[in-house]
Amino acid sequence: MPTLKLDIRTSTVGSPDLVTFFIKGSPLPTGVPASEFDGALCSTVLLRDKSQRTLIVGVGEKDKIEPDTLRRAAGAGVKHLLKVGGTEIALDLTEFAEYIGPAVEGAILASYKFEGFGKDASKNTRGVLARLQILVKEHELIRARVQARDAEIIATTANTIRDIGNLPGNMLTPAILAARALELANSRALTVKVWNERHLERDGFGGILAVGKGSVNPPRLIVIEYRGGVKRDAPIALVGKAVTFDTGGISIKPGAAMDEMKWDKMGGCAVLGILLASADLKLPLNLVGLIPSAENMPGPDAYRPGDIITTRDGKTIEVLNTDAEGRIILADAIAHARLTYKPSVILEYSTLTGSVVMALGHRRAGMFTSDLKLRDAFLAAGKATGELVWALPVDEEYKEGVQSEIATVKNIGPREGGACISASFVKTWAEETPFVHFDIAGTAWTTKPPAHLEGGATGFGMRLTLQALRAGLQV
Ligand code: BES
Ligand code: ZN
Ligand code: ZN
């Protein structure tokens, strides 16, 4: 990705395209007919005079404006201008000083597009955002610079993980993901350890090994540590499912839209992003990110229905469907987090079930926790970041769905309440540690992008969690 020059100023320099924001109901700017523009959120009208293009972007009604409004409007403006070849853009935020962070974030998120491979670049007329100017009033300059810089870190990291996320299964195997994590962490105050098959075997990670066995691309466990807090404080553990491709294994999936299962690694990508951005933001916290990664393939050596697996802490799983693989690799990683790091809380992200998509669609991710403080913190962080979540239950009773006659649990239960039953399955490995499971199956990627984004990986969960961490997550 090309580097962006970000300027916080009181007036434009050079001749950028200018974005101004328009509150619905205000008097229309001269030259804009009411029939063409009403100021609805993300609606746009482009004015050209000889020296400059000005894009007016609606933000809707004044009393409905919140951080995500400016994130979306700024993003929609930038996306529009890039499509007409813009490369230098100025956002006029003089009347929206409290939303500098979200607007910068929206602009940078909107500037990302997956490049693809082997396409004729000369046919690409879409501009690349080279310079972004943020216009504020003189007395806002200092605060604006801090907010813009943090937003730049967060959005740039989100784009990095979206770019990893959009790589197909043949280009992003567990070993390649581990190499990317090492490379990205090396330039930061992070330490990374990677378990290969031998290490996984030695340390009893029976779940990650079983799921990875059907593939010639062997599994990995990636562990990233960040120590920005008080030395003796227990870390917060972040666990993310990174199945680089999910065919379903022996319980193979139907063919339709199976390509989308390249995004079955997005929980792990979110965790990677949280660690990278936390280091860049220098958050005063201790964090440990655990990313179990495997490719779920059928093959002569693949794990099979009926198999019994022993996980990292000795609990056993009766496999009844090899397509319910995410929970198996998560079991190992959650147990390892609990046993090795004694964390104050475990936050876990996974594209775990089709069931949560049936329940919530693509607007909100499912959040499962019995800790009400954590629940409220993430509901608030969702509103602030636009990465919306909704609380679904994880009552003990849901575990009855995965009771096994011959193992600690079985890996599938009844279809009814599938997302809740799956949540109760993974929670088993957290034992008494406060735990939040995010089922991001409906939000990790988009095929119907909103006005400020492109289709593909969204990075969902990363900005949400950074917001909650920055607000001082209370456990
Ligand atoms: N990765 C899938 C879940 C998924 C489905 C994510 C659709 C995003 C969109 C997961 O590994 C899976 O296959 N889950 C099964 C579980 C079932 C076999 C109990 C599912 O939800 O159908
Ligand atoms: Zn699956
Ligand atoms: Zn999966």
Per-residue pLDDT of the chain (475 residues; tens, 9 = 90+): 668 999 999 999 999 999 999 999 999 988 898 889 999 999 999 999 878 899 999 999 999 999 999 999 999 999 999 999 999 999 999 999 999 999 999 999 999 999 999 888 777 888 899 999 999 999 999 999 999 999 999 999 999 999 999 999 999 999 999 999 999 999 999 999 999 999 999 999 999 999 999 999 999 999 999 999 999 999 999 999 999 999 999 999 999 999 999 999 999 999 999 999 999 999 999 999 999 999 999 999 999 999 999 999 999 999 999 999 999 999 999 999 999 999 999 999 999 999 999 999 999 999 999 999 999 999 999 999 999 999 999 999 999 999 999 999 999 999 999 999 999 999 999 999 999 999 999 999 999 999 999 999 999 999 999 999 999 997 7
Q: Which residue among 243, 352, 410 is best mutated to probe the pocket of ligand 1, counting the most ligand atoms within 8 A of its Cβ?
A: 352
| Catalytic residue selected from 24, 227, 253, 375 | 253
Beta strands in 38-161 (DSSP E): 44-48, 53-58, 88-92, 131-135
Catalytic residue flag (residue 327): yes
Beta strands in 179-285 (DSSP E): 191-195, 220-227, 236-240, 242-246
Helix (H) or strand (E) segment spanning residue 469:
helix 462-470
Q: Which residue among 353, 421, 440 is best mutated to probe the pocket of ligand 1, counting the most ligand atoms within 8 A of its Cβ?
A: 353
Tokens 């500098």, residue located: 100
382: left (phi over 0), alpha (psi -120 to 50) or beta: alpha
Tokens of 404: 């096994």
Residues 293-306 as b/e (b if ≥16 CB within 10 A, e otherwise) read bbbbbbeeebbeee
Q: Please list, in sequence order, all residues whose beta carbon lies within 8 angstroms of the beta carbon of residue 214, skipping any fewer than 6 positions away.
A: 249, 250, 295, 296, 297, 298, 299, 301, 302, 303
Beta-bridge partner residues of 14 = none
- pLDDT at position 120, please? 80
Distance from residue 324's CA to the centre of ligand 2 (Å): 5
| Residues 176 and 259: beta-carbon distance below 8 Å | no
**Nearest CA to 229 among 189, 186, 269, 184?**
189
Please state, in angstroms and rounded to a whole number, the distance separating the CA atoms of residues 407 and 376: 35
Written as one letter, the residue type at 59 is V
Please state, in angstroms and rounded to a whole number, the distance separating the CA atoms of residues 266 and 272: 10
Distance from residue 204's CA to the centre of ligand 1 (Å): 25
- pLDDT at position 1, please? 60
For ligand 1, what atom is nearest to the CA of residue 253? Answer: 13
Tokens 């279809």, residue located: 415
Q: 151-189 pLDDT, tens per residue?
A: 999 999 999 999 999 999 999 999 999 999 999 999 999
Cα dist from 27 to 42, 94, 449, whole Å: 18, 18, 31
Cα dist from 406 to 76, 282, 396, 428, whole Å: 54, 47, 20, 16
Instruction: Give the count of beta carbons closer than 10 Å to the beta carbon of residue 146.
Output: 12
For ligand 1, what atom is nearest to the CA of residue 352? Answer: 3
| Residues 445 and 254: beta-carbon distance below 8 Å | no
Q: Please list, in sequence order, all residues whose beta carbon lies within 8 angstroms of the beta carbon of residue 95, skipping any fewer than 6 positions away.
A: 21
Distance from residue 268's CA to the centre of ligand 3 (Å): 12
pTM over 0.75: yes
Residues lining ligand 1, Cβ inside 6 A: 246, 264, 321, 323-326, 351-355, 357, 412, 441
**Nearest CA to 134 among 241, 238, 258, 7?**
7
Please state, in angstroms and rounded to a whole number, the distance separating the CA atoms of residues 274 and 196: 23
Distance from residue 248's CA to the centre of ligand 2 (Å): 5
Catalytic residue flag (residue 113): no
